Amino acid sequence: MDTAGTDTAGTDTAGMDTAGMDPELKAYADAARGFMPVDEGAALYEAAMGVTTPGPFLEVGSYCGKSSIYLGAAARSRDTVLFALDHHRGSEENQAGWEYHEPDLVDPAVNKMDTLPIFRRTVHDAGLEGVVIALVGQSIPVAENWGMPLAFLFIDGGHGAEPAHADYEHWMPHVAVGSRVAIHDVFPNPADGGRPPFEIYTRAMESGAFREIGHTGSLRVLERTGPGI
């Protein structure tokens, strides 16, 4: 479950700070439409800035492009690109009748959600069109055809059990040893939100292939330390 709420409990930012993000771009990202609290966006930026491996960044779940700005800013500074993957039809909880539905995001011609126009506008206005590359499609077929090791992976797509575990299984192998993964909406306490992101975080930790390097609100940042996902 995505949430716009800010959970600062248990914050351990491991020396992260946001001094490096262009203040104008940061203000723009902080104000952009989406589901990313300001402190978690800052942590996301710092986590991506700290990568030490080569390769592109990729996020699963861009929505209107809010997280794409934090990550795109880091990608630009690190001289790489961000692939921003989303089918732009919304997750289960974004559909009509669900908690996180925003009716103005429905394309009346097809009566489906369509966040792509807003995403495009967000990236354009941030000046990041040369860095943020939209991949419009379903996460799993893209993952199955993906060939390049990632320096940074951000998982914030479907939050149901099936899509969250499918993202874990299909995307984690593309994270190179030494590279980083951030998982959003990790709520250890079921009262705070849906559990599948917490389950895949737990899965990563129990695999022995990752160590945790940062924790801000519901954002967990991991580094891949070895094989055996």
Q: Which of 1, 21, 35, 153 binds ligand SAH (CB under 6 A)?
A: 35
214 binds, among ligand SAH, Mg ion, none (CB under 5 to 8 A by kind): none
**Which DSSP helix (H) or strand (E) runs through 182?**
strand 175-183
**Residue 165 among the catalytic residues:** no
The CA distance from 133 to 85, in Å, is 8
Q: Which of residues 9-48 bind Mg ion (CB under 5 A)?
A: 35
Residue appearing with tokens 């940062």: 214
- Asked if 157 is part of the footprint of ligand SAH (rule: CB under 6 A), the reply reads yes
Question: In this structure, is the dihedral angle defined by the CA atoms of residues 26, 210, 219 and 35, taken in order, positive or negative?
Answer: positive
- Nearest of 68, 92, 60 to residue 167 by alpha carbon: 60
Q: Which residue is nearest to Mg ion (CB)?
A: 184
- Asked if 7 is part of the footprint of Mg ion (rule: CB under 5 A), the reply reads no
Q: Which stretch binds ligand SAH (CB under 6 A): 103-111, 155-163, 186-194, 219-227?
A: 155-163
* Tokens (6 digits) for 130: 């040369």
Residues 4, 217 contacting (CB under 8 angstroms): no
CB of 160 to ligand SAH, least distance (A): 8
Q: Which of residues 124-153 bind ligand SAH (CB under 6 A)?
A: 138-139
Q: Which of residues 1-20 bind ligand SAH (CB under 6 A)?
A: 2
185 binds, among ligand SAH, Mg ion, none (CB under 5 to 8 A by kind): Mg ion
Q: Which of 26, 66, 76, 184 binds Mg ion (CB under 5 A)?
A: 184
Residues ≥6 apart with Cβ < 8 Å to 185: 1, 2, 3, 156, 159, 193, 194, 197, 218
CA angle 199–200–201, rounded 5-degree value:
90
CB of 12 to Mg ion, least distance (A): 19
Q: Which of 87, 101, 124, 159 is catalytic?
A: 159
- Asked if 185 is part of the footprint of Mg ion (rule: CB under 5 A), the reply reads yes
Strand partners, 144: none
- Asked if 2 is part of the footprint of Mg ion (rule: CB under 5 A), the reply reads yes
Q: Which residue is nearest to ligand SAH (CB)?
A: 34
Q: Residue 38 to residues 29, 41, 47, 70: CA-CA distances in angstroms?
A: 8, 5, 14, 10
The CA distance from 227 to 101, in Å, is 39
Just list the catalytic residues: 159
Binding site for ligand SAH (CB under 6 A): 2, 34-36, 61-63, 66-67, 85-91, 115, 138-139, 156-158, 163
